Amino acid sequence: MNPTIDDLIAQFKSNQQDRGVTLDTHQPHTLLLCCSDARSDPAIWIKTDLNELFIVRTPGNVIPPFDEQRPCGVIAGITYAIEKLPIKQCIVLNHSNCGGAEYLHSCHEPDTLPQLTSWMRLNGNRDKNPTLDPSQRTLINAYNNLILYPCIQKRRQLESLAIHALFLDIKQAAIYRYQPERDEFDHL
């Protein structure tokens, strides 16, 4: 299916209905960081409604180390959500067969997407487990960067923010939770 813009607008109009939720104020309960991959849309997988999720999506779900001197959309999104919105939990969601993660961990000579390589490398390389697949390693690195953000640390000290790192197997429709203390993934 290759819908045109007119098809998409018609789809938009046909989908409008009384949703039964207030949209007067922005009140998401969850900050969700995930990949831009078209197969991993969290609102569809979880079936949430409007005004539930504040979503930051990027190729590969990179979360750069916090650096106030080098702001980017991810840092701005996390900071805004945590400081200004009624966020109670944060979910870092990566998925299987992630193109960004696989590109970074495979050899490319020449590198035809140096911008993607540079972007993915912002995640750093904190994970020490070579047995994990590239998508899981990306998740661990992103999670480890996130928990060092000052706004995240402040909220965690107040015990007012839960953080979860989840891995979605898109072919199996299975979900796994990363356990930082064991450096393992548990099937849920």
Q: Which residues of this protein are in contact with Zn ion, per CB under 5 A?
A: 35, 37, 98
Of the two residues 98 and 165, which places its CB atom closer to Zn ion in the complex?
98
Of residues 66, 54, 62, 2, the one with CA closest to residue 36: 62
Distance CA 99, CA 88 (A): 30
CB of 60 to Zn ion, least distance (A): 5
CB of 98 to Zn ion, least distance (A): 3
Q: At what angle are helices 150-157 and 73-84 packed, to 10 degrees?
A: 30
Of the two residues 35 and 81, which places its CB atom closer to Zn ion in the complex?
35
Counting Cβ atoms within 10 Å, is residue 169 exposed (0-12), middle (13-18) or buried (19+)?
middle
Of the two residues 37 and 90, which places its CB atom closer to Zn ion in the complex?
37
CB of 57 to Zn ion, least distance (A): 9
Of the two residues 37 and 142, which places its CB atom closer to Zn ion in the complex?
37
Of residues 128, 106, 127, the one with CA closest to residue 117: 106
CB of 83 to Zn ion, least distance (A): 27
CB of 87 to Zn ion, least distance (A): 23
Please report which residue ranges of 37-122 form alpha helices under DSSP H.
Answer: 42-46, 73-84, 99-105, 114-121
Instruction: Report which secondary-structure segment, H or E, holds 11.
Output: helix 5-15
Q: Are 53 and 43 in contact (CB under 8 A)?
A: yes
Identity at 11, one-letter amino acid code: Q
